[in-house]
Chain A
Amino acid sequence: MIDSKDLDSNFKYEVAAEMGGENINRCFSCGTCTAGCPVREIDEKYNPRKIIRMVLLGMREKVLKSDFIWLCSTCYTCYDRCPQGVQLTSIMTALKNIAAREGYVHPSFKEQARLVKEFGRLYEVEDFDNKKRKKLGLPPVKKNFEDITKILDDTLPKEVLK
């Protein structure tokens, strides 16, 4: 049951003010997003139409603390098919970004952010890798990126960097 006193009617405006969330109020709940979603096809706990509905209703805590917002595979099928141009993939990014600032970042993305900050890539390039590359006739790749570390130190929310 949804109790109106648990709702935050400003949540949709908060999402609309976030980068990528601008078009959330255009949604008329047709369900084109959910019908074409490859994640929803496997597991019903990820339901894009329902997530948008929850945001528009103001179910702030439920959405931000959920595990389902992290399940968008960013295939952009809904983004391209939405008749209202809601740009759902970007809305999911906006929701994840707000959740990350509130300390609910999914451990997988926290780890990815840590790796990129530390190594400038998702993978650490070790001497072994460059030796292998040389053997294969490929040029060596750089191992550290101090400027990426700086960019991420300056721009990532502290809850993600923690």
Chain B
Amino acid sequence: MKYALFLGCTIPVRAQNYEMSAREVAKILGINFVDIPEFSCCGFPVKSSNAESSLVIAARNIAIAAKKGEKICTLCNACTSVLSEANKELTENKELRDKVNKELKKIDLEFKPGVEIKHFCRILYEDIGVEKIQNEIKKDLSKLSMSVHYGCHYLRPFELYDGFDDPENPVSVENLVAVTGAAVVDYKKKLECCGGAILGVEEDIALAMAKDKLDNVTDNKVDALVTICPFCNIMYEDNQRKIESKFNVEYKLPVLYYPQVLGLALGVEPKPLGFRLNKVKANDVLKKVGLEI
């Protein structure tokens, strides 16, 4: 199984632990990642200014993958939705495709339908499958309990994702955590947005949204929150200290990327999974399963 790994903006410079752990896990499960240095931003950050610009940037990335005959694996939820949306719209709407291709022609590219785009977790769930992962588990994580934050764009809009999971009652990532042996703890308002997209617009609202999530997750005394998007992670991990001091609360909640959790269960050491880069230290999580950073 081969995919071009799409990193986007945040992961290569601010979430290397996500990238490291995804690469480790992929290697073990037989997913061959190809690196395409020409991949840029997905287009999401310019969508609010101009949707057409965002579409052209997304189409550019898809066209580059197509030219190399690769499918795209994303790690960021926003990249997943923006690329998938462009893929769908440009495949279905010829007028729009012609318009976008006029721009792409200037940089010697052309959008053609047919490139598959999937989030890494969807690939693990759908194409590798929980059963195959189960067979590879080397380390029992049953001493740990975790809650999952899916993040919006992994599941929504529903029309982009061929119904692989239910956005109102998702199970895919929780099943992927459960296969490691860790207890999956459900919580109030699991589907609530992290607020990341409006952090720069009104920080107070964005942080209040993230606080609400952290309150609900920590109510259950879980060992960690599991995320699958670097932007959600910024809200819950990077901004956790800020939220603690702003609202006078204390969480100290480790936030782990899903491939870090799976990587431990597959027998990978914490170091190559990037645990040293986690901002809220996960020492206690590791200690419980007999590991250290």
**A93 and B107 form a contact (CB under 8 A):** no
CB neighbours of B81 from chain A (8 A):
76
**B192 and A113 form a contact (CB under 8 A):** no
* Residue from B7, B40, B48 in contact with A93 in the complex, judged by beta carbons closer than 8 Å: B48
| Given known A74-B152, A112-B46, contact A141–B37 (CB-CB < 8 A) | yes
Looking at the assembled complex, report how far the CB atom of A106 sits from the nearest CB atom of chain B, in whole angstroms: 6
Check A53 for interface membership: any CB of B closer than 8 A: no
Contact code string A122-136 (vs B, CB < 8 Å = 1, else 0):
110100010011001
**B37 and A75 form a contact (CB under 8 A):** no
- Count residues on chain B whose CB falls below 8 Å from chain A CBs: 56
* Residue from A71, A77, A120, A142 in contact with B156 in the complex, judged by beta carbons closer than 8 Å: A77
Check A34 for interface membership: any CB of B closer than 8 A: no
| Given known A77-B191, A80-B157, contact A156–B37 (CB-CB < 8 A) | no
CB neighbours of B19 from chain A (8 A):
138
Check A13 for interface membership: any CB of B closer than 8 A: no
**B52 and A80 form a contact (CB under 8 A):** no
| Identity of the chain B residue whose Cβ is nearest the Cβ of A79 in the assembled complex | B157
CB neighbours of B45 from chain A (8 A):
109, 112-113, 115-116, 122
* Residue from A93, A111, A142 in contact with B37 in the complex, judged by beta carbons closer than 8 Å: A142
| Identity of the chain A residue whose Cβ is nearest the Cβ of B156 in the assembled complex | A76
CB neighbours of B7 from chain A (8 A):
141
Which segment, of A4-12, A24-32, A35-43, A57-65, faces chain B? A35-43
CB neighbours of B200 from chain A (8 A):
108-109, 111-112
* Residue from A38, A70, A138 in contact with B16 in the complex, judged by beta carbons closer than 8 Å: A138
CB neighbours of B167 from chain A (8 A):
80
Kindly state the interface size class of chain A when it binds its partner: 35 or more
CB neighbours of A72 from chain B (8 A):
197-198
CB neighbours of A42 from chain B (8 A):
205, 208-209, 212
Measured CB to CB, the residues of B under 8 A from A are 7-10, 12-14, 16, 19-20, 23, 35, 37-38, 40-41, 45-53, 56-57, 60, 81, 103, 106-107, 152-153, 156-158, 167-168, 191-193, 195-198, 200-202, 205-206, 208-209, 212, 272, 274
**Could you pull out 23 A-B pairs where Cβ atoms are within 8 angstroms?**
A19-B52, A73-B196, A73-B198, A79-B156, A93-B47, A94-B51, A97-B49, A100-B50, A105-B48, A109-B45, A111-B200, A122-B9, A138-B20, A142-B37, A142-B40, A145-B40, A150-B106, A151-B57, A155-B52, A155-B53, A156-B49, A156-B50, A160-B49
